[in-house]
Structure 1
Amino acid sequence: MKAPRIASHGRGKRERGHAALVLLLGLLALWLTILSLVHFNASWSDDAWGYLRLPLFGDPDFGATVMFEPPDDLGSPVPYLKTVRGLPGAAVAVDADGTVRVDGTAIGRVKPNALDGRRLEPVASGTVPAGHYYLHADHPDSHDSRYAEIGLVPRSRILGRAVALPDIPWLGLDGPLANPRNIHAEPGPAPPDAILPHAMLPGASR
């Protein structure tokens, strides 16, 4: 009678060990999943150090902060982070002075050149088509839908909602990783007719 009890006890220990291993692997997988959804902010046009990308079910609402894939020909290795300022059906107009209006409200101004001298064309005036969105950031140097090379973003390129992560000063997480305030050689302001380039880091957003 003793031998079966010893064997049963051994099986119980092995089963508990297997359960603990499965739990540990599950927690590790959960942590890696969460980590993969954290995007470090590499743009000084925004003050948050990072954002958590969450699933977006359905279509984004006006005012939602989202991450999206910029056009392939821009060669950006990181997603962009912008706010929805124009829904399908919104009227987009560009004034002669470069002011961009959405449904009659001025929300930004187009600059003619990038800092590297590349010519920038404004987005075409017209109506935001079905399944597309005007994505915008308030910073005057934002690279967003005001420029034709970004344009009106299709829903298929919007990756999800973005939620700003709180500052953690004791970890040094209190602002953009590539913010010029955090490096020794701070660049001067962008010329009034050029937009600043945004630094890009692996796993970052701009």
Structure 2
Amino acid sequence: MRAADRRPSAWPRLALWGGVGAVALALSSLSAFARDHALMINASPSLPYWAVWLTRGAEPQRGDIILFDPPATPLLVKHFGSEPKPFGKRVSGVPGDIVTERNRAFFVNGRLVAKAKPRSRLGEPLALGPSGTVPRGCYFVTTEHKDGFDSRYAAIGWICAPRILGVGRPIL
């Protein structure tokens, strides 16, 4: 046999480079997926789920759960600290819907969605949230929990696009 015939095959080297390319492609895809999705853990009793899959950039629809950065109001800071974790609430009102309030009960397009308490669990008076037409890019969010801190209170108000992290899907 001649020395030229004993040259190693190119296949192992091609397989190695193909594997390196596949790993790079997989890592790039995983990075793009992570930019648009997240697993969020819910520590609040206001939603009955403890794990929510977040999709960033999805357009919220009525009934969806949205996750958002709460506003830095004095009442919120007192109850949740200066850097509260994201809130998750259900979308009850979408842009163009009509929110009304009667005797601390909130209605969206005539349907009861929540009742507001007069005082917080620490005894502070709770001002009522917004009513009227839900503005473009904003949402009226609520929760079924009696102590839920949501749009029915002025300290939260409308939840508008710059504060929305994404739409959540309960998984556990």
Question: Could you tell me the TM-score, scaled by structure 1's length?
Answer: 0.65
Q: CA deviation at 1:152?
A: 1.0
Work out the CA distance in 2 between the residues paired with 1:117 and 1:41. Answer: 25
How many residues align structurally?
162
Work out the CA distance in 2 between the residues paired with 1:76 and 1:48. Answer: 22
Work out the CA distance in 2 between the residues paired with 1:119 and 1:72. Answer: 17
Q: CA deviation at 1:145?
A: 0.3
Q: Which runs of 5+ in 1 are unaligned?
A: 167-206
Q: Which residue of 1 aligns with 2:84?
A: 77
User: For 1:72-107, what per-residue CA distance to the aligned partner results, in whole angstroms no more than 9, with x for missing partners?
Assistant: 3443432111111112222222223x1122222222
Structure 1 residues 30-109: aligned runs within 5 Å: 33=34, 37-57=38-58, 59-73=59-73, 74=76, 75-96=82-103, 98-109=104-115
Larger radius of gyration: 2
Q: Which residue of 1 aligns with 2:136?
A: 130
The change in CA–CA distance for 1:117 and 1:33 in structure 2 (over 3 A counts) is: same
User: For 1:108-143, what per-residue CA distance to the aligned partner results, in whole angstroms no more than 9, with x for missing partners?
Assistant: 111122222333211133222222111111111111
Determine if contact 1:70/1:76 at 8 Å carries over to the other structure. no
Q: Which residue of 2 aligns with 1:156?
A: 162
Q: Which residue of 1 aligns with 2:79?
A: none
Asked if 1:113 is matched to 2:114, the reply is: no
Work out the CA distance in 2 between the residues paired with 1:52 and 1:10. Answer: 41
Work out the CA distance in 2 between the residues paired with 1:116 and 1:155. Answer: 30
Amino-acid identity (%)? 32
| RMSD between superposed Cα atoms in Å | 3.0
Q: Which runs of 5+ in 2 are unaligned?
A: 77-81
Q: CA deviation at 1:42?
A: 0.6
Q: What secondary structure is seen at the aligned counterpart in 1 of 2:90?
A: strand
